[in-house]
Chains A and B, each alone.
Chain A
Amino acid sequence: MTLFEEVAPSGPPSDIPTTRVELRVNGETRAAQIEPRLLLAHLIRNGFKLTGTHTGCDTTNCGACTVLYDGQPVKSCTMFAVQANGHDVTTVEGLASSEQLHPIQEGFKDEHGLQCGFCTPGMMLSAVALLNENPNPTEDEVRWALSGNLCRCTGYQNIVKAVLWAAEKMRGDA
């Protein structure tokens, strides 16, 4: 296995160059020895076992792999893991503390903003990035901000409601 040393039974073929990366994932420093061609999404999923980040397409369209990279939403299937060296990554697993859900998570549950759950992590992280910049978005602003994330189940209406629900809670209006 050349992708990630810790899970390699025999180690990479010796002539394949690997690189050590160190990044902060959900607030914790994680290190890995990786091949440069490893996509960030695969390091997160297979290396760090954070399987809440999903991959849904090959063409940078679906947004299921969205994570926050230094606070900005990026499609983690469209970055090489080696690029993340020294950077900060937040995945869906980093949204809740052990006791407390993030308001966006509560909103998605309360407003039935998910069905199969596959797009949900990416959708929520895009929403969090929006709410961090714009605590009081309009429906159109929410729809625009989420237009890089595809959902096949919900028709988006409840996702929009979920984000507005979370916005209200985060502002403390509720």
Chain B
Amino acid sequence: MLTLSSISKSFPGVKALDQVHLDVRAGEIHALVGENGAGKSTLTKTIAGVYQPDEGQIEYDGEIVHWTSPGEAKSAGIHVIYQEFVLFPHLSVAENIFLGHERRGAFGLIDYPQTDRDARELLQRLGVEIDPNDRVSELTVADQQMVEIAKALVHKVKLLILDEPTAVISGHEVELLFKRLRALKEDGVAIIYISHRLEEIFEICDRVTVMKDGHYVDSKNVADIDRDQLISLMVGRDMSELFPPRVGEAKFGDVVLRTNNLSVNGRVTNASIELRAGEITALAGMVGAGRTELALGIFGGLPMSSGSVEIDGETFTEMKPALAIKKGLGLVTEDRKGQGLAMQLDVAANITASDLDAVAKYGLINTIRELQIARDEIREYQIACRGPRNPVATMSGGNQQKVIVARWARTCSKVLILDEPTRGVDVGAKVEIYRIMRELAAKGIAILMISSELPEVVGMSDRVIVMREGVVTGELSKDQLSEEAIMQLATRHEAA
């Protein structure tokens, strides 16, 4: 049905896929698993014609294909349902289903009665009761998902790819989804199912392919393996050489920051964590587990809905970034472009942004002082750029990241939170960032590192806090630390 052989795909600075194989048969549900950043999304986008592979070949339906656009893959019967639905909330269900393939009548105008009839029939085939005239915005998320699947049926789908379909629905709705997927499977549709909820894979999938760091690891019949074996396939690898050893002996000081039952509206529930001076604490968990929101709650980027933050014994029930900075906190955000850098501005302006007072007198910026600070930081962190006046937009991801780290390392005196500090940066910059974290910790700063990369968590941290679905599910000390243990906490089966 679909065979990918030796597919490779590179983006500037990263090899996203390296010699990946995948073999999907008609009438099977094939799980695709791997940690965040393993290359699952890139692979599905390659299958769907969004990306063209640099190497390797795709054989689909008995032919070797070279799709140049998603449209070609779509007309060949491949349909992808992304985590974010591609629906137009203000249009009706029927209009959404036939979007781009409108049923036409006289004069090329849309034939609404026909649209309505066809939509009804498709929804019936799926066995769902949705009125095609309802607006999509009025539907539940589960029903919206059904509309997405109905869209796939318009095109005589042969291969359906679902990216984390159960991330947005729960319990009963999941059961209904599975029922419909099984029905599609009976019809001979091949399904690629991406999920990090491993128990679902054992429930519904026939085979599983494991990916790691853009590499193909293995394919197995689901019946032949158990959960622990699957986890070890997903994590097994040694990356310890990347991580610089701690300088000297570990000496942790007092607790400098503590959250007491901190909640952030709907995203974090009653989180209580402690950070100690000189300690690198990792905050692990799956994407969407509420880690970023917890960090923003501590820093004042998002309002706390309840609970408090205690910094050096002082309790705050409200926090603003300006106050957090004054109290010695720093936050390296996950989203460099969105929340980290003013891209049009230069290196110097971005470095000094969080502490303009240090370079100003009487409200005027002392340019000489600013440039001097920027030059020092560029040297200290080996930021590759043409100088302090280089706009950050033209720099590589790793160097941009170092600019942000330099900014906060300079101004934070107690706690530095780094959210996915090495995402999208090359190996060299990674090692550099690890080194900086070690140095700051040695200076007595408490480090909280949010990371989805398990080897990084294991290699760098002195202690790990794990979150799942907004709740802190456990804590692991250095000697309890393993990728498997973290995975167990991060994906723990819902108490049914």
Real binding pair = no
Q: Which residues of A contact B (CB under 8 A)?
A: none
